[in-house]
């Protein structure tokens, strides 16, 4: 990224001089790198500020672009708030002033949605199905290929929030039948504030309308001067993640299992939240019996973890994901969400086990 802050500081849309050409070349290289991560064509990748913007552009745009066909959307109760809040806004008529009906499907105790439930929810006026690839809190991998096949057979647009999955597990937009797919660079070790949206240039969302206008950047879908250093960083992070994915998954999966086994051995009443498989290799979410959740987190302030989604930690409400899999408010608040990273070591895991066991023991006493 560094040269694009200094020597190659041009605007990627400036076609009249070498500074602009250098910036444009950096953007197009990154577009190819991101496309390769998800099995897409570079021309179908649109850069955004991250998955939140990508989700808004995809969901609201798909509904607006198909307003003559219908106003029904199918999603899942455990989706990220960047999806659920858009759906709520659509229901309230805050997009084009037209009311949209949203079906939110339940999940089982492991956090998985049944493709048969998706099939049953599809109607003649359904214009979009939006299901995340991997849950951001409990890490379970949804059966998106089966859901994508159902949507494709019915001619319904299929959006996948892949923010958590990209760079962690293999993704191929053709294999899963995605028409739209959202990414955030910082989820695969890239810079914050940049991401991408894959838009299939054929099928039900071929004419996806933009959310804002002015300049026609990114093939008219996302106007605004491009964040060239961020985009370059996003592309390089995608390339590194694609090459390191298999090794990362093996290493982090073993560390995650060591963490869970160590916690259950050291502490009575520790339970896994969400299905053990299929699950992201770096994710662990557990609940601890007989402790106050707030006191537990306060006692673990030296560890980087949370009780729910990082974007919702300011809320006093228990996690909607944990509630959806059947946990009580008390159990949801006494849950711990771990995200292991490429630099996590065995020593880190063992130290965390010791700290958590000590805090839980003190609270119970």
- Cα gap 307→317, rounded to integer Å: 11
d(CA 259, CA 250): 14
So what CATH class is 2-240? alpha beta
Domain at 245-364, CATH class: alpha beta
Catalytic residue among 87, 234, 311, 312: 311
So what's the pLDDT on residue 220?
73
Q: What's the pLDDT score for residue 345?
A: 97
* Series of mean pLDDT values for 10-residue runs along the chain (365 residues): 91 79 91 98 96 96 90 97 96 84 98 98 97 98 98 96 98 97 98 97 77 78 90 98 97 98 98 96 97 93 80 70 96 95 96 97 96
Which pTM does this prediction carry?
A: 0.94
pLDDT in the model for residue 94: 83
Question: What's residue 312's pLDDT?
Answer: 53
Q: What is the predicted pLDDT for the residue at 231?
A: 97
Q: Is 117 exposed, middle or buried (0-12, 13-18, 19+ CB in 10 A)?
A: middle
Hey, where are the domains in the chain? Answer: 2-240, 245-364
Give one DSSP letter per residue of 233-255, joined into a string.
Answer: HHHHHHHHHHHHHHHHHHHHHHH
For 169, 222, 249, the CA distances from 160, given in Å and listed in that order, are: 14, 19, 21
pLDDT at 206: 63
In our burial notation (b when 16+ CB lie closer than 10 A, e otherwise), range 130-145 reads: bbbbbbbbbbbbbbbe
CA distances in angstroms from 360 to 137, 264, 313, 316, 355, listed in the order given:
22, 12, 21, 21, 9
pLDDT of residue 95: 78
Does the active-site annotation cover 311? Answer: yes
């Amino acid at each position: 990224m560094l040269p694009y802050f200094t020597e190659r500081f041009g605007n990627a849309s400036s076609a009249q001089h070498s500074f602009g050409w250098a910036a444009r070349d950096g953007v197009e290289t990154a577009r190819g790198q991101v496309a390769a991560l998800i099995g897409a064509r570079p021309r179908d990748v649109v850069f955004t500020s991250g998955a939140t913007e990508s989700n808004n552009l995809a969901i609201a745009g798909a509904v607006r672009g198909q307003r003559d066909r219908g106003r029904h959307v199918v999603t899942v109760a455990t989706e990220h708030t960047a999806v659920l809040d858009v759906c709520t806004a659509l229901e309230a008529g805050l997009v084009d002033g037209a009311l949209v009906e949203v079906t939110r499907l339940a999940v089982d105790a492991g956090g998985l949605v049944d493709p048969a439930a998706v099939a049953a929810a599809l109607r003649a006026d359904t214009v979009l199905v939006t299901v995340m690839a991997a849950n951001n809190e409990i890490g379970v991998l949804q059966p998106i290929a089966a859901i994508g096949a159902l949507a494709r057979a019915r001619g319904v647009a299929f959006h996948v929030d892949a923010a958590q999955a990209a760079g962690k597990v293999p993704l191929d937009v053709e294999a899963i039948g995605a028409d739209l797919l959202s990414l955030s660079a910082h989820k695969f070790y890239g810079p914050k504030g940049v991401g991408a949206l894959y838009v299939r240039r054929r099928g039900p969302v071929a004419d996806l309308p933009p959310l804002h206008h002015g300049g026609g950047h990114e093939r008219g879908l996302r106007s605004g001067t491009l964040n060239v250093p961020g985009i370059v960083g996003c592309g390089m992070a995608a390339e590194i993640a694609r090459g390191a994915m298999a090794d990362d998954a093996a290493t982090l999966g073993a560390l995650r299992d060591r963490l869970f086994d160590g916690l259950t051995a050291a502490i009575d009443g520790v339970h896994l939240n969400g299905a053990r498989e299929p699950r992201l290799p770096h994710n662990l979410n557990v609940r601890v019996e007989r402790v106050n959740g707030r006191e537990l987190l306060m006692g673990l302030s030296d560890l980087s973890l949370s009780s729910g989604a990082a974007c919702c930690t300011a809320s006093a409400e228990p996690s909607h994901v944990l509630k959806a899999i059947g946990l009580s408010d008390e159990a949801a608040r006494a849950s711990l969400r771990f995200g292991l990273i490429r630099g996590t070591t065995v020593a880190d895991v063992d130290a965390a086990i010791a700290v958590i066991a000590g805090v839980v023991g003190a609270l119970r006493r």
